[in-house]
Structure 1
């Protein structure tokens, strides 16, 4: 009990520190801006470009009042809530999956998930991971009960996970096949399929019917279009994905190796634990197959794998080992959390030779300072010409149509007709926007007018010069804020010249 209370306290502390001091991420801007668009009556894909399932914008739109009051911090507060719920459901799932020592399994699972600072950071900043993990773990927990209603609930929740992040969709067929082979579950596979199928249709069918090309682009072509640059570079990306996963989740990796080395035969006699392993492995393989397999993708798979690991290993341990083992797990988790490089980013911007560059204020405070300047010049209800969408969210203003994806809205070679249909900008359209925008202010960090898609490469040098001239012809620089936002680049703030 004491270990469990301490674990909750550590998890809350890590979440609070990540919320207040965690580095900004560009994704936070366009996810929250998508929620704002939905709140204002727009639809993902059909009315603006979006690259994940549509569930998150609708969920956050319903709660957008928190963002209006607190800005990006409000979005982080919502995300933190879903992340902590995911950790709690991971604990409940481990409790359900373990065939003995259930309380210990639940506490251990919560420790592994809630007290991992890497996991805490990526379920605090506004991304799809926390909401998707919540749906995944709640759905798998439901499948632990032998009841038709639980099967329906499991299907509904796992379908919502797939509607939040498409890679989570692999869990649906895995769980469905698992139910078919569980003869004692009788028709649970049917109820699961009905619940999940109905929700999948409700989530995706309207978008594909009303905006097929835009939906296909956002969910599939946008991601498939990224070019890793050859076989050698592709293999490096894959190896780096595995290496960074081990680094971020080292304690779990050691636990998993222990399971497979010392108790694999006994563990795989537990059918529910087998389901968890299969689901976690399935998501991991989908992520590994991506052209750019970022390690933080695994944030949605990790709670499943953690629950599987403790449900497999702890029941095999003697009871006398449980209390000291949990205490040791708590100490190691805390030591790992507070020795992680993630913590360093709370207070420093890196190192100059032997000197640490300490942050004068947190990234969120810096964002608020920039937003104050924008609000003063736009009266809080105008338009901001920017690809830093988190600045627009913080200031409570709009961005021009076509810029909703921030730095990744620019496809220089895309035909105009296609770009207009997909709510993106090609070279001609971006130049026109810079030369004709009526926005009273413009703001560009090191990510602004700097990235071209689909290769995710720096814009051509000639284009960069053209964009800069177009901005300076109509806008006057009024401020420059160093160390701003993701990557801590310089944010240049411009005001429309009086003659305009």
Structure 2
């Protein structure tokens, strides 16, 4: 295979095209209630509130801090703005895989092929197409890979090791599951001193200090949001809705294979396992892949975005392996088939969006809500399970509903007194906490059209009606505003 004539601008045009494609996909992808808490956290932090102290946040805290200035800048366009930011972060992740592969010795063509396959994984396309907390940590982890490959080739420096430590720690501070690949690499660095473990630790220290400081400000909220809720709430929820089978080991393994097969990741994992590193230092990548796989299997149930941490190191490994052994014709055909499978859900989303683009529809709904709130004289924070619709209305979410539906649907995870400390409300304790009611209640955003449960909105509506609040229908038919008399 000769690639000496590869155009030098090919990567630039490829990543420019990818940027356009991912941004368009982010704008047409269906609305998802998972986005609620991440939009709310960015907006509340932008208005001077602190995660865990002033509102509950069910992840590690870096993303609200980094996205708060963006939320302030975007204003009423925060929700689509954050989707676009996540799409761009997806491009950062893919381009970092390219840089890492090239740093590791791969030529342009295998590096670009590996990146193209990475970009065809439904795991990535889903994760960077919504305003969740997946795109930021994967971009940070992938950005550390060029420094890691430099060290693997014996060309690492103190500054590059510190940068890798900073980026990996930041990835874990944005989403806790990224701590395992970071720890996996750190352990390998202790074995292979070319990776400069002392400087890795030095680079990670600023992030670690920030995390500790945030935890000390509100220790109970920090421990609950980062560790307690993620460990207990999914099990309770799936048992409550009669789907305990999704928590079984067998189902987790089936889901793992299913999500990897929606795209070339499953085949690429098998192919990459056949390659042998010429230099020992490259095994750091293997440690990160294994750690990412373990991180994906730890939660129950397994969802596609949980597999994202293992993909950047996997495709770097693949590109470097193909430098020596280019895939044969049958393998290339199989890769195309799996790539098409990975693109299929996104293509379906784009086709469905042709008559009615979901994000445009969401902004129209928000504009209608704003008009109704103005007419009703609503000025304070609004209680809603769909706070992602509020930025465009000019109103803040009631901090007790910053987690969207995710704490509200739980039952008895913590007592009412601890709920007050953690600034959360559950469906069974709404009467206790609404002794200090919000300025208004908004329902309608938690439904099948956002992958939600409309009965949860019904709990809020029932409380409002029992307490004699005015019921105001929002034009468009989806939302209802309740305001006190």
TM over 0.5: yes
Q: 1:457 to 1:442 in 2, by over 3 A?
A: closer
Greater per-residue strand proportion: 1
- Aligned pair partner of 2:180 in 164, 167, 170: 170
Of the three residues 379, 383, 386, the one matched with 2:384 is: 386
**How far apart in 1 are the matches of 2:454 and 2:339?**
40
Unaligned runs of 5+ in 2: 1-5, 151-155
Structure 1 CA distance for aligned equivalents of residues 111 and 13 of structure 2: 14
Give me the whole-angstrom Cα distance separating, in 1, the residues matched to 2:183 and 2:78: 38
Deviation of 1:402 (Å): 0.9
- Secondary structure (helix, strand or coil) at the match of 2:302 reads coil
Counterparts of 1:17-416 in structure 2 under 5 Å?
Answer: 17-68=24-75, 70-98=77-105, 101-116=106-121, 118-145=123-150, 146-184=156-194, 188-196=196-204, 198-225=205-232, 226-227=234-235, 229=239, 233-249=247-263, 251-260=264-273, 263-264=274-275, 267-312=276-321, 314-317=322-325, 335-336=340-341, 338=343, 340-348=344-352, 360-379=355-374, 382-410=380-408, 411-413=410-412, 414-416=414-416
Contact (CA 8 Å) 1:89, 1:137: kept in 2 or not? yes
Return the offset for 1:48: 0.7
Alpha-carbon distance, 1:344 to partner: 1.3
Give the whole-Å Cα distance in 1 for the aligned partners of 2:430 and 2:169. 37
Instruction: List per-residue Cα deviations over 1:290-323 (Å, max 9, x = no partner).
Output: 12221221123212222122222x12226xx79x
The whole-number CA distance in structure 2 between the counterparts of 1:192 and 1:447 is: 45
* Partner deviation per Cα, 1:386-409 (whole Å, 9 max, x = no partner): 111111133231122311101013
* CA shift in 2, pair 1:305/1:184, >3 Å: closer
Alpha-carbon distance, 1:180 to partner: 2.5
**Secondary structure of residue in 1 paired with 2:442:** strand
CA distance in 2, matches of 1:134, 1:464: 35
Q: CA RMSD in A?
A: 3.3
- d(CA) in 2 for partners of 1:65, 1:212: 27
1:427-464 CA deviation, whole Å, 9 max, x = no partner?
A: 5641356686352452233449x99xxxx9997xxx98
**Hey, what's the Cα distance between the residues in 2 that align with 1:412 and 1:69?**
33
Whether the aligned pair in 1 keeps the contact of 2:22 and 2:88 (CA below 8 Å) is no
Alpha-carbon separation, structure 2, partners of 1:401 and 1:20: 27
1:383 and 1:440 in contact (8 A); partners too? yes
- Aligned-partner Cα distance in 2 for 1:362–1:435: 40
Q: Tell me the distance in 2 between the aligned counterparts of 1:466 and 1:64.
A: 30
SS of 1:494's equivalent? strand
Identify the residue that residue 355 of structure 1 maps to in structure 2.
none
Instruction: Please say if 1:471 is aligned against 2:464.
Output: yes
1:221 offset after TM fit, Å? 0.6
Q: Distance in 2 between matches of 1:343 and 1:183?
A: 46
Partner of residue 351, structure 1: none
Q: 1:493 aligns with which of 468, 480, 485?
A: 480
**Structure 1 position 166, deviation (Å):** 0.8
> How many angstroms apart in 2 are the aligned matches of 1:464 and 1:372?
20
In the TM superposition, residue 329 of structure 1 has moved relative to its aligned partner by 9.5
- 8 Å Cα contact 1:18/1:124 also seen in 2: yes
2:3 alignment counterpart? none
| Greater Cα shift, 73-82 or 24-33 | 24-33
TM (norm. structure 1) is 0.82
Matches of 2:87 and 2:26, distance apart in 1? 8
1:451-491 deviation digits (Å, cap 9, x = unpaired): 9xxxx9997xxx98765432233131413746xxxxxxxx3
Which position in structure 1 is the counterpart of 2:153? none
Q: Identify if the C-alpha distance between structure 1 residues 391 and 467 changes in structure 2 by more than 3 Å, giving closer, same or farther.
A: closer
Quote how far apart the aligned CAs of 1:149 are: 0.8
Displacement, 1:17?
2.7
CA deviations on 1:99-130 (whole Å, 9 max, x unpaired) are xx432332123212234455223113112211
Contact 2:272–2:317 (CA<8 Å) still a contact in 1?
no
Taking the aligned partners of 1:341 and 1:137, their CA distance within structure 2 comes to 24
The TM-score normalised by the length of structure 2 is 0.84
Partner of 1:354: none
